[in-house]
Structure 1
Amino acid sequence: MSKHDDTTVWAFANTGRYAHAFVAPWTDQDGNESTQHLRAMCRKTIARRADSVFVTAESVSPRCRSCEAKWNDHLARVERSMEPLQPCESVAAFGAAPVETPCCEHASMYHGNSGCDECGCSASRATMPAHGGTVSAPAAEPAAPVRRDRHTARRVLADRRRTNRAAAKLRRRGVATVAGHCIAAGLRPGDARSMASSLRRNAVKVGCEGRAGTSHAGRRPARPCTRYSPAEVAVAASAYRPRRDDFRAVRAALMAVPA
């Protein structure tokens, strides 16, 4: 990059119609840097020879949007690094220890943690920055996990829609598979299938035969199934003894059917 200055880093790639910003040496798969080629800011696989002709951003168009955004961020960081430290900024933010300032009345003394020994005042250095103290930078609040919160909200809404649809389908038809009853009670499909297998065994023990039918689940091939009424599922649930807490709550909901 001996031919480059602060702005002449733009050039068109060997292939493609966009100009890229070439600022870093190209690195091969073994991690060895090449002094003959430079790589683009957006992708290390885009390279140009170091002795190529590079121009400023205003001289080429169209430009790669990713390179342009990263190049503008780079220029902004350079500008911020050259700005002098403002009085309101704390030096603790830059890793330096805060400097004690002398007392306002006698410059040879300093405030201790409990006050000034010379004048007898009880003003602490931490509580009275103007009386010989220092101001510490406020602790930065951790950024809220936005993506995690959105994912959790979408999952909650999806579970709620699934439960409401299963409950509405059960009200319309009056019968449903055992897994359908469990989903309508609030379980997810995986847990509903696990609980349904146990309920079907208990249904056979208590003599609940149900109604034979055909199940259509999305694009899967149709398969035979057995549908039960809420009263039959309540009888089967009365003989079921789950261990998991969420299965116990669903069992109670299945048993709470109107007489």
Structure 2
Amino acid sequence: MNTKARAARHALRQRTRAHRDARRPHTLASHLLARGANPSDASCVAGALRGKAMALGVTGHRTLVCKTSAGKLPKRAPKRPCVRYTDRQFLMLLTAYNPRADRFRNLRTRLLSI
């Protein structure tokens, strides 16, 4: 197999994975982490967005998770319940979010500009 075909197949595989991951629902913290927020800010903002979701009546898809924003759970630990949101729901919550702290305001404007 020549290198051009291998490189083209690799690029196609990466593009397919990126599109598939974009369609899948994620937790609020993982949405923030994927967009470049640091873990401590992601967990703080995710908590605020969960409250905003309850106020707006946005319900995500309830499921179980093995990984948290702090890392993977131990191997034999039971899975933890979580709620996953689509990109559209996440952006709707982010636009309704009105932070007070400057670092969260800056994070919100940076995320909305992406």
TM-score over 0.5 (shorter chain): yes
Alignment of 1:79-94 (within 5 A): none
1:213 aligns with 2:33: no
Q: 1:228 to 1:213 in 2, by over 3 A?
A: same
SS in 2 for 1:181: helix
Higher helix share: 2
Q: 1:190 to 1:223 in 2, by over 3 A?
A: same
- Pick the aligned partner of 2:94 from 228, 237, 240: 237
Q: 1:249 to 1:183 in 2, by over 3 A?
A: same
Matched to 2:81, the amino acid is: P
Q: 2:46 aligns with which of 185, 189, 196?
A: 196
- Report percent identity of matched pairs: 33
Instruction: Name the TM-score, length of structure 1 as normaliser.
Output: 0.31
Letter in 2 for 1:178: L
For residue 199 of structure 1, what is the amino acid of its counterpart?
L
Question: Structure 1, unaligned stretches of length 5 or more?
Answer: 1-167
Once the two structures are TM-superposed, the CA of residue 254 in structure 1 deviates from its matched residue by 4.3
3-state SS of 2:83 partner: strand
Encode CA deviations 1:113-154: one digit per residue, 9 max, x unaligned: xxxxxxxxxxxxxxxxxxxxxxxxxxxxxxxxxxxxxxxxxx
Structure 1 residue identity aligned to 2:86: S
Note closer, same or farther for the CA distance 1:208–1:254 as it changes in structure 2 (3 Å cut). farther
In 2, the alpha carbon distance for the partners of 1:172 and 1:237 equals 17
- Note if contact 1:186-1:250 (Cα within 8 Å) is conserved in structure 2: no
How does 1:1-259 map onto structure 2 within 5 Å? Answer: 168=18, 171-217=21-67, 218-220=72-74, 221=77, 222-255=79-112
Letter paired with 2:108 = R
Offset at residue 186 of structure 1 (A): 1.6
Do the aligned partners of residues 233 and 172 (structure 1) sit closer, same or farther apart at CA in structure 2, a change above 3 Å counting?
Answer: closer
Q: Residue 193 of structure 1 aligns to which amino acid in structure 2?
A: S
TM norm structure 2: 0.65
SS at match of 2:40: helix
Q: Give the length in aligned residue pairs.
A: 90
User: 1:192 aligns to what SS in structure 2?
Assistant: helix
**Structure 1 pair 192–247 and aligned structure 2 pair: CA distance change class (3 A):** same
1:190–1:170 Cα change, 3 Å: farther
**Cα offset, 1:175, TM superposition:** 1.2
Once the 2 structures are TM-superposed, how far is the Cα of residue 212 of structure 1 from its aligned partner?
0.7
- Which residues of structure 2 form unaligned runs of 5+? 1-17
Q: Please give the alpha-carbon distance, in whole angstroms, between the structure 2 residues aligned to 1:170 and 1:244.
A: 34
Separation in 2 of the partners of 1:206 and 1:172?
A: 23
